[in-house]
Amino acid sequence: MNYGEKYSKLGNALEPSLIGQILKYASDPDAISFGGGVPDASTFPAKELADISRELILNESGYVLQYSSTEGDLGLRKEILNLLYRFYGIKGLTEENVLITIGSQQALDLIAKVFLDERSYYIIDDPAYLGALSAFNTRFSEFVAVPLLGDGINTDLLEEKLKILEKNGEIRKVKFIYVISNFHNPAGITFSPDRREKILEIAERYNFFIVEDDPYGALRFEGKKVDPIFKLGGQKRVVLLNTFSKVLCPGLRIGVVIGDKDLIKKLALAKEAAVLCSPALNQRLAAEYLKRYDLLEHLKPVINLYKRKKDIMLEALKKEFSNVEGVKWTKPEGGLFIWMTLPNGFDTMEMAEIAKKKKVFYVPGQAFRPSGERSNSLRLSFCLPPEEKIVKGVKRLKEVVEIYFNQKSNVLI
Amino acid sequence: MNYGEKYSKLGNALEPSLIGQILKYASDPDAISFGGGVPDASTFPAKELADISRELILNESGYVLQYSSTEGDLGLRKEILNLLYRFYGIKGLTEENVLITIGSQQALDLIAKVFLDERSYYIIDDPAYLGALSAFNTRFSEFVAVPLLGDGINTDLLEEKLKILEKNGEIRKVKFIYVISNFHNPAGITFSPDRREKILEIAERYNFFIVEDDPYGALRFEGKKVDPIFKLGGQKRVVLLNTFSKVLCPGLRIGVVIGDKDLIKKLALAKEAAVLCSPALNQRLAAEYLKRYDLLEHLKPVINLYKRKKDIMLEALKKEFSNVEGVKWTKPEGGLFIWMTLPNGFDTMEMAEIAKKKKVFYVPGQAFRPSGERSNSLRLSFCLPPEEKIVKGVKRLKEVVEIYFNQKSNVLI
């Protein structure tokens, strides 16, 4: 039979992402990819994890190879609370405030399931994290997209949009706002303390909650640590997402939701119906690593490595693009991404065809737009390529921009 | 804020399962639990997996600790095809016909997402596997429940029900039938070759597909292996689900979908939005185990162990219940479960209160009913308790039945 005839609305809507198609060429050994947000594998504590894993399987096979609780390993949840306290001074939480998920992608999927219906609204930054868009899109909800400025979302515009919803009697359909407050993916910017407070104030006034995603917070290169919105607003207003993907390794697939304990219970029910439970081995591996080693110490050289790569990329961008009118880029204080904007009229999706030929890869801004509209921006990830390739890759990017500009000019003339 | 105010229709519908509440007392060391379908941990090849895991993390950290493909590790997919050929003689498939999932629960969730809408129908056996019910319930579809007989579902009744749907012009809303063809969970029965062919014939006639779940097929104690419906009907009509949970260990969380390659691509897109990818370490562990050792050889003593436990339970049931009128139970040729039916008027959910006091645990039949209606049946799992506890537990169960019967008689008089 033709399965396509039987697809649900969602089944029909799921389509291969444009990025996948672009990035599949990035594995060419001559290619230089600024595409994926994939950590440098040299930062993984392989030796330590190898020894721990053998020990755990030998000594605790009845636990690590067995079904385990949907909420997650208790020891890991304790270690996470300990980290939150050490890193952000967040306290007053218990294990019941923590849910372990299959990467933070699953946290997004569970939140989408538990809160979003077709006639719901969520608020999202523009550009926004692609994984959040793909999870939320499965619910066919309405959304309010709010442009990002250099220090967070445009909260004035957000208020204007909310006032319209209020006037139309739709404000109670607004479920939550989703933000990445530190070293935004894809935009590289960090929300200022003022923006964080303002978002909290607006969320309280209009009665929706905040999903604060913080995968990169521990990867700060410079500048002052800013309190998470979760710390300001507490668990009754804010749900905090985290992950070990960028600070330990992505392969364990461990995401974390920190929030109100009744909410955690509800998300756990959704998780049970989706995957039953996370692999116990992976959770014990992370927990035992955290117990035996100091993750924040482990991160010091990792942060230095990414900072160096970031500096090299900023330097190269300055060299190649500083005298090209209308081109600008963000200067991240941490994380993995730089957001580059080309002159008006550029279409970075269209330009990707040229980039493919020149063997330099980036993610076109369009992929990050909640509306899916064309974009003159692009995301550059500096975490994976070796340092010399960063310089070379930015040179290629300059060529790509020039070729594209010349093509465009011809068309315009 | 009160998160409950913001729940979606699904968020509101998700409620803790009755089983969870019953089984939480089962961890009492004096308790005897016939509750969970949890494999005996002594069957896990811990030593082998411990060594492999250390080796993999040391030698392939850039792969096993990194993000990996949504479809799953290529080597594992090849090993699975090899197993399918060896065990069932299924051939003509490539890796593109295989999707790795987070346990087979995720396969059920993905199928539900890709095919079911609120106005869809699916067909399901009654009693049915609880995990399938919980995954399908998230889509708020209609269902057609078809009672199980000793050799499969009642195909005559299925045809009657389909005729009614056809008459009402609703037949094209029927998406699939879900069956566990070998050693059914919870019913312990195996679909006969005739029933399998009949189901296939009906599916072809009414144009829906078959989801054949086969987690226990390799755990056959006696009787003759039966060809999977997938082998009879092929990938254009049947999707085959499998898992390593019962034959290797559940803790790796590796489920498998075998099917049409376009369908696999579509399910992979749904998986990407839900969890991005499975942990590479877990997949390489399974793949490497399958490469170095012979899973079917490993299973020989495992099968003997479960067969012995099954025989002990059947013997104990015969001893305690053979002269109690109206009590019967299935005699599984493999798998982990026996389905026991008490006289009409018994309510095994109500009886569970007495069982809790007597410290013997089972899963009430109600948990497996698509309609959620009361049931006079119950599921007994013989895989986990040690042999002497099986005998003791069945004795306790007899006492429970007697106490409940006496209480009921009083009420009836």
Find tokens 């294990």 and name the residue: A95
Contacts of A260 in chain B (CB under 8 A): 3
Give the pLDDT confidence score for residue B123 in this predicted structure.
Answer: 98
With an 8 Å Cβ cutoff, are B105 and A3 in contact? no
Res A28 pLDDT > 90? no
Please write the tens of the pLDDT for every residue from A124-183.
999 999 999 999 999 999 999 999 999 999 999 999 999 999 999 999 999 999 999 999
With an 8 Å Cβ cutoff, are B11 and A41 in contact? no
Per DSSP, the three-state class of A168 is: coil
CA distances from A313 to A31, A43, A110, A363, B242 (A): 17, 19, 36, 16, 47
Q: Answer with the residue of higher pLDDT: A36 or A401.
A: A401
Joined together, the tokens standing for residue A257 give 């939701």
Does an H or E element contain B123, and which?
A: strand B121-126
Which value, in Å, is the radius of gyration of the alpha carbons in chain A?
22
CB A330 within 8 A of CB A189: yes
Mutate to test the interface with B, among A53, A136, A272 (most CBs of B within 10 A): A53
Give the pLDDT confidence score for residue A273 in this predicted structure.
Answer: 96
Res A371 pLDDT > 80? yes
- The residue of chain B nearest to residue A64, with distances taken between CA atoms, is B251
* Number of Cβ within a 10 Å radius of residue B193: 14
Please write the tens of the pLDDT for every residue from A171-224.
999 999 999 999 999 999 999 999 999 999 999 999 999 999 999 999 999 999
* Nearby residues of A182 by Cβ (< 8 Å), 6 or more positions away: A190, A191, A214, A216, A217, A220, A226, A334, A335
Task: Count how many residues are written for chain A.
Answer: 413
- Residue-by-residue DSSP string for B233-301: H-TTTEEEEEESTTTT-GGG-EEEEE--HHHHHHHHHHHHHHHSS--HHHHHHHHHHHHHS-HHHHHHH
In angstroms, the CA B327 to CA B348 distance is 13
- The residue of chain A nearest to residue B174, with distances taken between CA atoms, is A6
CA distances from B283 to A72, B103, B268, B288 (A): 20, 11, 16, 8
Contacts of A270 in chain B (CB under 8 A): 10-11, 14, 138
Res A366 pLDDT > 60? yes
Q: Nearest Cα to B172, choosing from B137, B120, B118, B125?
A: B120
With an 8 Å Cβ cutoff, are A51 and B54 in contact? yes
Res A413 pLDDT > 50? no
Amino acid present at A395: K
pTM above 0.90, yes or no: yes
Mutate to test the interface with B, among A7, A8, A173, A202 (most CBs of B within 10 A): A8
Joined together, the tokens standing for residue B386 give 């040690």
Give the pLDDT confidence score for residue B411 in this predicted structure.
Answer: 61
Does an H or E element contain A126, and which?
A: strand A121-126
| Burial class of residue B1, CB neighbours in 10 A (0-12, 13-18, 19+) | middle
Distance from CA of A279 to the nearest CA of B (A): 5
Task: Count how many residues are written for chain B.
Answer: 413
Query: What is the pLDDT averaged over residues A19-41?
Result: 82
In angstroms, the CA A246 to CA A260 distance is 25
Query: Count of A–B CB contacts within 8 Å?
Result: 254
In angstroms, the CA B210 to CA B203 distance is 7
CB B211 within 8 A of CB B241: yes
DSSP-assigned beta bridge partners for residue B340: B329, B378
Q: What is the complex's ipTM, to 2 decimals?
A: 0.97
Whether residue A127 has a cis bond before it, omega within 30° of 0: yes
pLDDT tens digits in sequence order for chain B, 413 residues long? 899 999 999 999 999 877 666 667 767 889 999 998 889 999 999 999 999 999 999 999 999 999 999 999 999 999 999 999 999 999 999 999 999 999 999 999 999 999 999 999 999 999 999 999 999 999 999 999 999 999 999 999 999 999 999 999 999 999 999 999 999 999 999 999 999 999 999 999 999 999 999 999 999 999 999 999 999 999 999 999 999 999 999 999 999 999 999 999 999 999 999 999 999 999 999 999 999 999 999 999 999 999 999 999 999 999 999 989 999 999 999 999 999 999 999 999 999 999 999 999 999 999 999 999 999 999 999 998 999 999 999 999 999 999 999 988 766 54
Give the pLDDT confidence score for residue A409 in this predicted structure.
Answer: 77
In angstroms, the CA A250 to CA B277 distance is 10
Q: Nearest Cα to A248, choosing from A278, A218, A209, A213?
A: A218
Give the model's confidence band at A22: pLDDT under 50 very low, under 70 low, under 90 confident, else very high.
Answer: low
Mutate to test the interface with B, among A49, A271, A276, A288 (most CBs of B within 10 A): A276
Give the pLDDT confidence score for residue A68 in this predicted structure.
Answer: 92
Please write the tens of the pLDDT for every residue from A56-96.
999 999 999 999 999 999 999 999 999 999 999 999 999 99
* Nearby residues of B74 by Cβ (< 8 Å), 6 or more positions away: B95
Whether residue A386 has a cis bond before it, omega within 30° of 0: no
Distance from CA of A191 to the nearest CA of B (A): 23
Q: Nearest Cα to B162, choosing from B122, B112, B117, B210?
A: B122
What does pLDDT average to over chain A? 95
